[in-house]
Copies of this chain bind each other. A is one copy, B any other.
Amino acid sequence: MSGDPSKAEAKTGSWVRAGDGTGDRTIEENWLFRLRKERFRSRQSGKEHDFYVIHLADAVHVVAITPEDEVLVVRQFRAGSGRDSLEIPGGLVDPGEDPREAGARELAEETGYTGDPPELLSTVWSNPSLVTSRIHTVVIRNARRTVDPDPDENEELVVDRVPAAELPAMIVGGKIDHALVVAGLLWWLGTRTPGILPGPSGARTS
Contact = CB atoms under 8 A, between A and B. Distances in A.
Given A80-B129, A172-B202, A156 B14 contact: yes
A95 interface: no
A23 interface: no
A142 interface: no
Nearest to A191: B172
Interface in A25-83: 27-28, 30, 32-33, 35, 38, 40, 42, 44-45, 47, 49, 51-54, 56, 76-83
A83 B172 CA distance: 32
A123 interface: yes
A147 interface: no
Given A82-B10, A186-B187, A187-B182, A52 B77 contact: no
A131 B197 contact: no
B80 A42 contact: no
Nearest to A45: B156
Contact of A82 (B13, B44, B177): B13
Interface residues of A, number: 77
A62 to B, nearest CB: 16
B182 A132 contact: no
Given A10-B82, A125-B178, 18 more contacts: A4-B82, A6-B83, A12-B84, A13-B82, A13-B83, A14-B84, A42-B156, A78-B125, A85-B125, A85-B129, A122-B172, A124-B179, A127-B127, A168-B196, A172-B204, A173-B204, A186-B187, A189-B190
Report the 7 A-B pairs with minimum CB-CB distance, sorted nearest first: A51-B79, A81-B128, A183-B183, A78-B128, A186-B186, A13-B83, A124-B179
Interface of A: 4, 6-10, 12-15, 17, 27-28, 30, 32-33, 35, 38, 40, 42, 44-45, 47, 49, 51-54, 56, 76-85, 122-133, 135, 154, 156, 168, 171-174, 177-180, 182-183, 186-187, 189-190, 193, 196-198, 202-204, 206
